Amino acid sequence: MPKGAIYSIAVSPERGQLKKEVPEAEVIENYGIKNDGHAGSWGRQVTCLSRESVLAALKEHNIDIAPGDFAENIQITGLDLSSVKPGARLKLGDSVVLEVTQIGKEDHPSIVTKTFGISLLPGEGLFCRVLCGGVIKKGDPAEII
């Protein structure tokens, strides 16, 4: 399987906020990322976006935003996430395994849309639950397993 890498990791203490980039994060089994407002007992514990999709959107809309500004937890580079379906699994770093529970979500007037005029999560976001936890860092390997 082709391998990619974690481009960025971002968290926010509460839902409905833009996330701030962090160099590493503790990912907790059946919960999500420690200190992130989306963690909990549900199917959208961690959100992932393709770095390549983010770059395309930035170019198309002529905007410059930081990792986490699309409200994603993890940007992954070097993998074709558009082919991933619910039930697929992603391995991040040495031990973290995420299971994709849904792709996209209902589009509502989110902080992202209000701030930047566009949002990628409703169409492209991979929403995942954590099967195996661990610590991940920017630059760690990422793969579809």
Task: State residue 1's pLDDT score.
Answer: 47
Q: What does the domain layout of the chain look like in residue ranges?
A: 3-15+23-144
Per the DSSP assignment, residues forming a β-bridge with 8 are 75
What pLDDT, on a 0 to 100 scale, did the predictor assign at position 119?
77
Report the alpha-carbon distance of residue 142 to residue 139 in Å, rounded. Answer: 9
Domain 3-15+23-144 sits in CATH at 2.40.33.20
Q: Tens digits of per-residue pLDDT, 63-100?
A: 888 999 888 999 999 999 988 999 999 999 999 999 99
pLDDT in tens, 109-143: 677 777 777 777 767 889 999 999 999 999 999 99
Over residues 1-19, the pLDDT tens digits come to 458 999 999 999 988 788 9
φ/ψ (deg, to 5) at 30:
55, 25
Structure confidence at residue 85 (pLDDT): 95
Q: Whole-model pTM?
A: 0.92
> What CA–CA distances, in Å, run from 108 to 94, 105, 125, 145?
35, 9, 14, 32
